[in-house]
């Protein structure tokens, strides 16, 4: 039986990533993506229109009106849903591909996915292939967001995004090598999460958890229901911050807020690269042409009316 098959039920309840389904006191990939797209679009409308007035509530319909594109509010909602769909599908289509989630210290490979994806997105936008661009955007958003949950970036005390992840020429900071021990070995069946070595924190060495069946001695585990790298019955012993109740869940809100900020930076970089606000608006669906593409798999999406009311809020615990 393949690992991807085993992971499918767990992924639907969010065992290997920022959650897909809603969790109390936690933000999932949908919330992170929704919030970031609205904040980035607001910033671009503000720069493109000197008379822009920020709406009291930051939601798709209100923002479309404030951007003088009120007629395209429904398309904007659909554009966000399509990007979110491709974000979530990354967990299902690439469940066992470590680089898509920054697992097992695959930092260079994960960065390559993001930077090459950015180039693909920019090329698609310039060719007016916005559906293709939205699909790739959702995919790299997922990988970028997982960095903040799966690595120890937050535990190292960083409160801003790692900009090297989206800039090809920037070097990733202080990566652990294969021989570097990063976590204490757990002796109990349960814990409050894996304990990073003091030397890792003091030297600000970047690591991430291993997920699946095995890991090198002295490395950190991801943790969670189906992560057997922790040993049988010790699924809590990892460093992921996927939701409030996960291994390092005490840092979940910090991780999700930095993930939102990083996603806004990603979108801002795309806007600057294509050098035209209207092309960015077409990317997110804020245009007359209705975004297309079939959502083939049922996943709970954004209920704009009842769940996501205001993306201006710094902490959205819905």
Task: Give 219-229 pLDDT, tens digit per residue.
Answer: 999 998 778 88
Q: How many residues appear in the chain?
A: 318
Which among 82-91, 137-146, 204-213 has the top mean pLDDT?
137-146
137 neighbors 294 (Cβ within 8 angstroms): no
Alpha-carbon span 142 to 181, nearest angstrom:
27
Q: Quickly state the pLDDT bin for 295 (edges 50, 70, 90).
A: low
Q: Quickly state the pLDDT bin for 124 (edges 50, 70, 90).
A: very high
Burial class (CB in 10 A: 0-12, 13-18, 19+), 305: exposed
219 neighbors 182 (Cβ within 8 angstroms): yes
Count CB-CB contacts under 10 A for residue 272. 10
Alpha-carbon span 154 to 279, nearest angstrom:
34
Cα atoms in the 13 Å half-sphere on the side-chain side of 137: 34
Residue 318 scores a pLDDT above 80 = no
Q: Quickly state the pLDDT bin for 185 (edges 50, 70, 90).
A: confident
Which among 3-17, 47-61, 85-99, 109-123 has the top mean pLDDT?
109-123
Alpha-carbon span 292 to 285, nearest angstrom:
10
Average confidence score pLDDT of the chain: 86
pLDDT value for 292: 80
Selected residue with higher pLDDT from 310 and 110:
110
Residue 307 scores a pLDDT above 50 = no
Full-model pTM: 0.88
Cα atoms in the 13 Å half-sphere on the side-chain side of 3: 14
């Amino acid at each position: 039986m393949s690992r991807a098959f085993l992971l499918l039920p767990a992924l639907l309840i969010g065992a290997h990533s920022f959650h897909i389904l809603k969790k109390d006191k936690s933000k999932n990939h949908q919330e992170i993506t929704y919030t970031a797209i609205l904040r980035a679009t607001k910033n671009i409308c503000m720069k493109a229109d000197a008379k822009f007035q920020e709406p009291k509530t930051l939601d798709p319909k209100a923002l479309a009106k404030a951007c003088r594109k009120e007629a395209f509010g429904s398309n904007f909602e659909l554009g966000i849903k399509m990007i979110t769909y491709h974000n979530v599908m990354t967990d299902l289509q690439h469940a066992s591909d470590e680089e898509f989630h920054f697992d097992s210290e695959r930092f260079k490979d994960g960065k390559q996915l993001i930077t090459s994806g950015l180039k693909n997105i920019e090329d698609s936008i310039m060719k007016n292939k916005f559906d293709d661009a939205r699909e790739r955007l959702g995919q790299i958003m997922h990988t970028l967001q997982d960095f903040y949950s799966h690595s120890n970036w937050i535990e190292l005390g960083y409160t801003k995004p790692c900009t090297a992840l989206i800039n090809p020429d920037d070097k990733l900071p202080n990566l652990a090598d294969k021989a570097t021990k990063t976590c204490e070995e757990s002796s109990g069946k349960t814990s409050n999460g894996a304990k990073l070595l003091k030397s890792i924190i003091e030297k600000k060495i970047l690591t991430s958890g291993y997920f699946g069946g095995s890991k090198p001695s002295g490395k950190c585990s991801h943790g969670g229901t189906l992560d057997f790298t922790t040993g049988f019955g010790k699924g809590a012993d990892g460093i992921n911050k996927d939701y409030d109740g996960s291994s390092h869940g005490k840092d979940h809100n910090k991780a999700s807020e930095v993930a939102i900020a990083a996603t806004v930076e990603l979108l801002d970089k795309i806007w600057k690269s294509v050098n035209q606000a209207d092309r960015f608006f077409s990317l997110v669906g804020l245009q007359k042409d209705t975004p297309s593409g079939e959502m083939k798999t049922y996943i709970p999406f954004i209920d704009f009316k009842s769940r996501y009311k205001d993306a201006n809020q710094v902490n959205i615990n819905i």
